[in-house]
Copies of this chain bind each other. A is one copy, B any other.
Amino acid sequence: MTHHRVLIPSSVQAGATLDISGEEAHHALRVRRLAPGAVLELLDGEGAIALSVLEATDKRGKHDWHMRVRIDEVRHMPPPHPRLEVCASAPKGEASEQLVDQLSQAGAWSWSPLVCARTEVDPREGKLERLERHAREASKQCGRAWRLRVEPRITLDDALAEARGAPADDPCTLVLAHVSGTPYVPTGSRRIRLLVGPVGDFEEREIDAARRAGARIACFGEHVMRIETACLAAAAVILDHERRG
């Protein structure tokens, strides 16, 4: 049986008692109608899963729900392996939410809006904050101990330079998704950075720059894909290959 999951802002200790209010309390008490004695799974999005019991509930104002939970047991899950960092140009409108949802479900580590020559969408600070909240919710829904991170925008040059500058004992493998590429070959890397271009695709010189930076050019399907589809297809294929060990 799956317990009701609750997001918490920071980690907790077994034996502690926690007061939870706001949206999470509203959802648990008003929508799910949980009563004292119910078992909850608290997620901090940083690897901790706290099995807890709902001890008391309280409604202080019209929409002001509170609940007190007792933490019985805290498990710390290891971070996902490999750590798949997706750098992909933001798609238009609500497709960004879809991208964040689907990357959460697929088990990617992070998404950064990639800025390259033909990028048209440059999500503002406020939009990224909304997507960050969306990612927390999506991570809760699919039961991830580690939430998907929504990172600040990054240029292609910086995305390549950062990967090249990774420490020798924790290298970062670069993979650029392109229809001209070859089938994906597992790397065994602990850290993989996937590059997905904008609607008009990468320019030739950008693909060359990635290749010079050591990127593999890999193909994840025969047809033209939207950004969000390419991200999920590539993430699913990469994680499938890498997790076979």
Interface residues, chain A, CB within 8 Å of chain B?
A: 80, 98, 101-102, 104-107, 141-144, 183-184, 220-226, 229, 232-234, 236-237, 239-240, 243-244
- What copy number does this chain have within its complex? 2
B233 touches A236 (CB 8 A): yes
B237 touches A106 (CB 8 A): no
Report chain B residues within 8 Å CB of A80: 222
**A179 CB to nearest B CB, Å:** 10
From known contacts A102-B229, A105-B226, infer whether A183 and B221 are also in contact, taking CB-CB under 8 Å: no
Partner of A105, one of B105, B143, B229: B229
A105 touches B224 (CB 8 A): yes
Partner of A221, one of B98, B224, B226, B239: B239
From known contacts A98-B98, A229-B101, A233-B232, infer whether A224 and B184 are also in contact, taking CB-CB under 8 Å: no
Partner of A223, one of B144, B184, B221, B226: B144
Task: Give the nearest-CB partner of A232 in chain B.
Answer: B232
**A60 CB to nearest B CB, Å:** 33
With A and B bound together, what is the CA distance between A141 and B220 in angstroms?
18
With A and B bound together, what is the CA distance between A224 and B140 in angstroms?
10
**A168 CB to nearest B CB, Å:** 29
**A163 CB to nearest B CB, Å:** 23
Report chain B residues within 8 Å CB of A142: 223-225
B183 touches A225 (CB 8 A): no
A107 touches B223 (CB 8 A): yes
A106 touches B229 (CB 8 A): yes
Q: Which of A102, A144, A220, A244 has the most CB of B within 10 A?
A: A102
Task: Give the nearest-CB partner of A233 in chain B.
Answer: B236
From known contacts A221-B239, A232-B232, infer whether A226 and B101 are also in contact, taking CB-CB under 8 Å: yes
**A235 CB to nearest B CB, Å:** 8
A236 touches B226 (CB 8 A): no
From known contacts A232-B236, A236-B232, A236-B236, infer whether A105 and B225 are also in contact, taking CB-CB under 8 Å: yes
Report chain B residues within 8 Å CB of A236: 220-221, 232-234, 236-237
A221 touches B107 (CB 8 A): yes
With A and B bound together, what is the CA distance between A234 and B239 in angstroms?
12
Report chain B residues within 8 Å CB of A244: 183
Task: Give the nearest-CB partner of A102 in chain B.
Answer: B229
**A15 CB to nearest B CB, Å:** 29
